Amino acid sequence: MVNRMKIIMLGAPGAGKGTQAKMIADKYQIPHISTGDIFRANIKNGTELGKEAKTYMDKGELVPDELTVRILLDRVAQPDCEKGYVLDGFPRTIPQAEVLDQELTKRNEKIDYAINVEVPDENIVRRMSGRRACVSCGATYHLVHIPPKKEGLCDKCGTELILRDDDKEETVKNRLGVYHDQTQPLIEYYSNKGVLQSVDGTIDMMDVFKGITDILGE
Ligand code: AP5
Ligand code: MG
Ligand code: ZN
């Protein structure tokens, strides 16, 4: 089966976009593209891009649209994206969404689903302090909800897990503010396009996923 679904994950920082996007990518055999993961991989490898992105990320601010859009368009032009993809953390501003739409329109394509994972702010701060991330493969854990099998190590690749620099409480609060100002308007944007679907992100992650597969189909 050729699956050409193009999916966008929307939701506050820590809503579970990455967790769900990985499961979607596995089930539907499409690439998972996270701009945050791309930036973190660049920071880890000490690239120029990484250095620039880090100055914004550490403060919980958005990396400028111009830089982010360039990276994303390069990525979706790769051959593996011909079978569709799930975008996690992009777009994050109306201008980013507009550029993506223009690119897709040129190719006679469109976004099929924008899935909004809803989690209230109160839950977010609690979640983030427990999160541990693998910068090698992008896997995400939670000390309480989704612990790794071996303490401190990634189940998939054995790399030592880290607390992300931007998961400190103050930075999380700033990220939430940025989310409400700049990213939340995308909910209306995609609703107007008739592709928005919302799921409750506060329940068990497998139940969240069930809600998503009900939308996307088997
Ligand atoms: P990014 O990496 O995208 O971070 P984010 O949007 O802030 O989202 P997170 O990755 O923090 O959360 P998530 O929704 O993926 O949740 P997760 O699945 O990990 O971006 C980081 C930074 O990069 C930005 O601040 C910005 O500076 C820059 N950037 C990235 N993209 C950009 C763009 N397009 N434009 C400009 N700048 C950009 O889950 C969170 C935790 O909860 C985990 O511990 C997880 O295990 C746990 N969890 C998940 N689901 C559940 C559940 N159902 N129940 C209980 N716990 C759960
Ligand atoms: Mg993420
Ligand atoms: Zn890993």
Decide if 73 is inside a domain: no
CATH label of the domain that carries residue 166: 3.40.50.300
Q: How far apart are CA 104 and CA 19, in angstroms?
A: 26
Residue-level pLDDT at 4:
83
Decide if 20 is inside a domain: yes
> Which ligand 1 atom lies nearest to the CA of residue 117?
14
> Which ligand 1 atom lies nearest to the CA of residue 207?
53
Decide if 162 is inside a domain: yes
Residue-level pLDDT at 165:
86
Decide if 150 is inside a domain: yes
Helices (H), 164-204: 169-178, 185-192
Residue-level pLDDT at 25:
97
Question: Which residue in the block uniquely carries the two structure tokens 């999380």?
Answer: 172
Domain that includes residue 130, residue range: 6-31+78-209
Distances (CA, A) of 42 to 87, 122, 126, 196, 216: 18, 31, 27, 31, 32
Is 126 considered catalytic here? no
Ligand 1 in reach of 16 Cβ (< 6 A): yes
Question: In the chain, how many domains are there?
Answer: 1
Residue of 6, 17, 22, 127 marked catalytic: 17
Bond into 64 cis (ω within 30): no
Is 131 considered catalytic here? yes
Ligand 1 in reach of 69 Cβ (< 6 A): no
Ligand 1 in reach of 22 Cβ (< 6 A): no
How much is the CA Rg of the chain, to the nearest whole Å? Answer: 16
Decide if 91 is inside a domain: yes
Is 17 considered catalytic here? yes
Is 92 considered catalytic here? yes
Low-confidence ranges of the chain (pLDDT < 70): 1-3
Closest ligand relative to 16 C-alpha: 1
Ligand 1 in reach of 210 Cβ (< 6 A): no
Decide if 62 is inside a domain: no
Q: How far apart are CA 161 and CA 168, in angstroms?
A: 16
Q: Classify each residue of 114-140 as buried b or exposed e, where b means 16 or more C-beta atoms within 10 Å of its C-beta.
A: bbbbbbeeeebeebbebbbbbbeebbb
What is this structure's pTM?
0.93
Task: Tell me the CB-side half-sphere exposure of residue 96, using CA atoms within 13 A.
Answer: 25
Q: How far is the CA of 23 from the centre of ligand 2 (A)?
A: 13
Query: At 214, is the secondary structure helix, strand, or coil?
Result: helix
* Cα angle value 98/209/22 (rounded, 5°): 65
Pick from 80, 14, 75, 15: which is nearest to 42 by CA?
Answer: 75
Decide if 61 is inside a domain: no
